[in-house]
Structure 1
Amino acid sequence: MRQDLTASQYARALGQADQWPLHTMRMELAFGRPVRITGGPRGVGPLYLRDRDTSLDGSWDVLDLDPDPTNLDEREAAAYLAYRPRYSSTTLFRGVCRLTERATAVWSPSAGLTVNYPEPALHSKPRVLREDADPVAAFTDLLRQEIAARPLPADQCAVELSGGMDSTMTALSLAETVGPAHAAALILGGSVGGQQTSRRREIIQRAGLGSDVTVPVEECAPFLPDGARATGQVISPMDGTYAEAMTVLYQRLAACGVRWLLTGIGGDELCFQRPEERLRSGDPWNVHPVPDHLGPRARAHLPYLTDALAPASVLHASTVATIGVHSATAMRRGLWPISPLATPLLLRFSESLPHEWRRDKELMRRRLQAAGYSPHVVRPRLPENFSDTCERAMLRYGRPLLDRLIPDLLLTKAGLIDSGRLATQCAQVAATGKRASELYRPLALEASLRAL
């Protein structure tokens, strides 16, 4: 409904919009004035913008903006190849910007596009619990409230239930709040996959979830010979490592009538340990070493990778960035992603907890214990992650493909990769059968740029 508002009424309407409890993105259009787009503090879908001189294009899918693979932002490319993530308005492609959380994009044909950052967000510090405090009950109640804030029909909902702590928290609260929604997961191979399957079975049955949709990740591993990237299909360089497998899973969910996809994203950051806490507990902070195969242009940017970053975000920057990667893959298949652990109130609550409740996800494990789950679910014997899948896929498929591409790499021409050192590394991987996953990032970026 169209309304004519005075300046004070308009300001009040903006304030009311900002009080909306879920995610918001606000666009202001006024005749003769610049366009203003403001993002909310949560991440759902990313927004990429491109100034076309006489128009402003925007999309949650960077591929919609026709990015130029020959016009890379060297600093962003260096950060990606060096495992040093950046959260800012710049992207891999010059001319394409990202609207970061709470930032405002301002555009007009005469002045072009600028992104104005907000003030840094404030965060809580650990506090002392009251004697009668029950962190598990409080956490459970907050998570249920977050899911219940939306009218979600169970038969149109699915939860990505890998079996890890984070996704299990979402699954339990979804079942308790909405009902027997679908479960879904990529299933690992080998003995780890057997453990994952039995743990998921117990969670699904005990929580009362509905049908289970699964995809063996090995069948859709990165760079399979008939897969999207190996065959030169266009895929965003901002997509995740297991985009092929996730796409198959999401296609199957969409065929089941699923519209709403709930995830466990944000759980790691809820249980984040501060640096001083890691020192006291002896838990190392693992920083990936800079690869030897970086080229001269990439190395020149390494001292400046922390320059011009977005200010401290309400959610952790890693959470918002992960949501952006995950959401684009889901939204291409018609699924709307919801990450109830990635919410400001839950993060503030968790940050306030003493260290012993956050370390090793103690808060989540105690919730499972209180709900009667077996030690097999609460503390699995084997670590369940996808690192071995990537290692095997790169050893069998990725390394031979990269070997063939090395003589004519676009990344080498751009000065971002040293092809000689990369060739040596490929030979070492072939000889030892180890550290093949170190080749993933240069191959993934190269394959995407070639397809574009």
Structure 2
Amino acid sequence: MRAPVEIIDGSVVLGGSRVTPFAHRLLRALVIDTDTTIAIACLERFRGDPHGIDHVRPDNDQALADRLNSIRSHLLDWSILTMDRVRGAISYETSLIHSAPVYLRNHAGRLTIDWDCTRLLQGLGAPIDWPATMAQIAGLMSYTPRTMVAGLYRSIAGATLTAHGDTIDTHMPPPMGMPGAQSLAEQVSAETLLFDTVKALLAARDIDPQRTAIELSGGMDSALIALAAADVLGPGVLSYGAEFSGAMGAAQRDRRTLLCRHGEFEDIVLPAGRFLPFGPRSARRDRFGVWPQDESYPEIFEAFFDLLARAGVDTLTSGFGGDELYAVYSDETTDTDDRALEDHPYLTARGRALARKGGAPGSQGVIADTSWLSAAGRSQRLLRQGIWPIYPYINPILARFVASLPWEYRRDRMLLRRTLTAQLGDPVFEQDYVKESFREVAVRGIAENREYLLAMLARSPVLDADLVDRDRVLAALGGDIEALPSEEFGLLFLVLTTCCFFDE
């Protein structure tokens, strides 16, 4: 760490070590170099910000601290990799808007950091972190740096991971208390505030309409993002989405048609039935190919992301995190999920005990763990195609605003429904809304790839007899998949995706 810093071909070179910031036109890098510290920051650019890598040498410790604090106050995404030349410690710190995590692994006295965990794991083995893995199968996985692979850590929003010697320590962000329901000032439109805020979050970035795509499922969350993007970027933006069959698919097609007509999108549609889960070309069949926390249906998104990259797209905006945006407080009447871990059909008593241990509380912020986990799960597949994701809903400022609204706005996501009606002039999202579902495609994927799945489970190291009831898993997989209750089907799907991740 005493070696001088050089910048060569977009990489920061320090003796035998090399750090290469992810290169993208929406990002910029800053190298801060003193006799005691090297800090490499990567920041999302505001429109008009400089490009490339800058290298500065502050005159003193106070100037260094001022530089770092300036980065920490940046209102878009940022991260800082810091190397302490004196102590030899290396830390990675992130903003509260964390679109794409990195993974850290200390192996044989050498720290490696990469946004693609497969490069860290190939050839080194992947010991299972049993509490985290059982928590994943139980549906209790929380948003912490811990992963299902022992010794592999993931950066998370607002946290600092520090490697020193053979250890990696975590400093979690302080809990962000929920604001509670508050009154809305007279003559203030919550619907207008929501729409304008989403537009502002998009417009702040240097987005190129010709190189941006909009994820358009036909659901409410992506609909609002798409309409805001159309207002900011104008007509002709590329959109994409899956097409399903049956009554649900017909309703979805009608909503997508309405949105495409309103936003004047150039739309790409792929039939969902052609990209079944667990199929022969599925990335789930590759070891470490798909994180189990990823979306349920990565097969079709692999095809979409490849198409987008071939079309010159390098930026994607999505409605990820919208489902979890509408907080519910304990004194508000709503349906509750009474599913108990004790009723888990596939975990033994010891497996359930480990799941409780592995499902420890996460960052405890205003943004739900499931939003962060889903975004983290898909980030590698996007970055491999050179695509940077923008998730306007995964933003603590927006989340706090929505969580502070009166219950009448948050109940059944009425704020979102009314905003869409106001923008479209059509109440389709308020009346007779048929929610899209992946279940039919998932059932077909399991049924048509049952032979592969049974063979995969037979060799899976995850199905430890002390932790998982292998016979019940195999019986469920060999039986009538379609007849399984929704809850049990979802838990079986978690078992399958977790076993796929570790399959050799």
TM-score, with length taken from structure 2: 0.82
1:35-66: per-residue Cα shift (whole Å, max 9, x none)?
22111111200121101243321122221211
Aligned to 1:366: 418
Please state whether the residue corresponding to 1:229 is helix, strand or coil. helix
* Whole-angstrom distance in 1 between the partners of 2:419 and 2:323: 16
The 8 Å contact of residues 213 and 252 in structure 1, kept in 2 or not, is answered as no
AA matched with 1:29: M
The 8 Å contact of residues 175 and 364 in structure 2, kept in 1 or not, is answered as yes
| Pair 1:27–1:191, CA change in 2 (3 A) | same
Residue in structure 2 matching 1:134, options 189, 210, 213: 189
| Pair 1:53–1:234, CA change in 2 (3 A) | closer
1:422 aligns with 2:473: yes
Aligned to 2:102: 47
Residue in structure 2 matching 1:442, options 495, 498, 501: 495
1:432 Cα offset (Å): 4.9
Aligned to 1:261: 316
AA matched with 1:299: R
Residue in structure 2 matching 1:187, options 239, 243, 262: 243
Residue in structure 2 matching 1:19, options 60, 68, 73: 73
AA matched with 2:492: L
The 8 Å contact of residues 395 and 436 in structure 1, kept in 2 or not, is answered as no
AA matched with 1:337: P
1:164 Cα offset (Å): 1.0
1:322 aligns with 2:374: yes
| Pair 1:164–1:63, CA change in 2 (3 A) | same
1:374 Cα offset (Å): 2.2
Number of residue pairs the alignment of both structures matches: 443
The 8 Å contact of residues 147 and 340 in structure 1, kept in 2 or not, is answered as yes
* Whole-angstrom distance in 1 between the partners of 2:366 and 2:420: 28
The 8 Å contact of residues 395 and 433 in structure 1, kept in 2 or not, is answered as no
Unaligned segments of structure 2, at least 5 residues: 1-54
* Whole-angstrom distance in 2 between the partners of 1:32 and 1:294: 48
Name which of structure 1's ranges 364-373 and 67-76 shifts more when overlaid on structure 2: 67-76
* Whole-angstrom distance in 1 between the partners of 2:483 and 2:253: 31
Please state whether the residue corresponding to 1:417 is helix, strand or coil. coil
Q: Which of the two has greater helix per residue?
A: 1
1:381 Cα offset (Å): 3.9
1:224 Cα offset (Å): 2.0
Residue in structure 1 matching 2:355, options 302, 309, 326: 302
| Pair 1:439–1:12, CA change in 2 (3 A) | same
Aligned to 2:60: 6
1:74 aligns with 2:125: no
Identity of aligned residues (%): 25
Residue in structure 2 matching 1:143, options 170, 174, 198: 198
Aligned to 2:157: 101
1:134-160: per-residue Cα shift (whole Å, max 9, x none)?
111111221111111101111111110
Residue in structure 2 matching 1:292, options 345, 348, 366: 345
1:318 Cα offset (Å): 2.1
Unaligned segments of structure 1, at least 5 residues: none
The 8 Å contact of residues 297 and 414 in structure 1, kept in 2 or not, is answered as no
* Whole-angstrom distance in 2 between the partners of 1:192 and 1:410: 38
1:114 aligns with 2:169: yes
The 8 Å contact of residues 48 and 98 in structure 1, kept in 2 or not, is answered as yes
Name which of structure 1's ranges 287-296 and 140-149 shifts more when overlaid on structure 2: 287-296
Residue in structure 2 matching 1:88, options 140, 144, 148: 144
| Pair 1:318–1:427, CA change in 2 (3 A) | closer
| Pair 1:320–1:302, CA change in 2 (3 A) | closer
The 8 Å contact of residues 219 and 435 in structure 2, kept in 1 or not, is answered as no
1:376-403: per-residue Cα shift (whole Å, max 9, x none)?
3443442212122212322332x44333
Q: Which of the two has greater strand per residue?
A: 2
Residue in structure 1 matching 2:463, options 405, 412, 416: 412
The 8 Å contact of residues 41 and 315 in structure 1, kept in 2 or not, is answered as no
* Whole-angstrom distance in 1 between the partners of 2:134 and 2:484: 26
* Whole-angstrom distance in 2 between the partners of 1:431 and 1:384: 17
TM-score, with length taken from structure 1: 0.90
Please state whether the residue corresponding to 1:312 is helix, strand or coil. coil
Please state whether the residue corresponding to 2:57 is helix, strand or coil. coil
Aligned to 2:436: 384
* Whole-angstrom distance in 2 between the partners of 1:347 and 1:353: 10
Please state whether the residue corresponding to 1:25 is helix, strand or coil. strand
1:30 Cα offset (Å): 3.6
Please state whether the residue corresponding to 1:215 is helix, strand or coil. strand
1:297 Cα offset (Å): 4.4
1:357 aligns with 2:412: no
| Pair 1:246–1:416, CA change in 2 (3 A) | farther
1:195-234: per-residue Cα shift (whole Å, max 9, x none)?
211211111111232x11122222111112443435x565
Aligned to 1:341: 393
The 8 Å contact of residues 460 and 503 in structure 2, kept in 1 or not, is answered as no
Name which of structure 1's ranges 27-36 and 371-380 shifts more when overlaid on structure 2: 371-380
The 8 Å contact of residues 243 and 329 in structure 1, kept in 2 or not, is answered as no
Aligned to 1:236: 290
The 8 Å contact of residues 215 and 239 in structure 2, kept in 1 or not, is answered as yes
Name which of structure 1's ranges 326-335 and 254-263 shifts more when overlaid on structure 2: 326-335
1:175 Cα offset (Å): 0.7
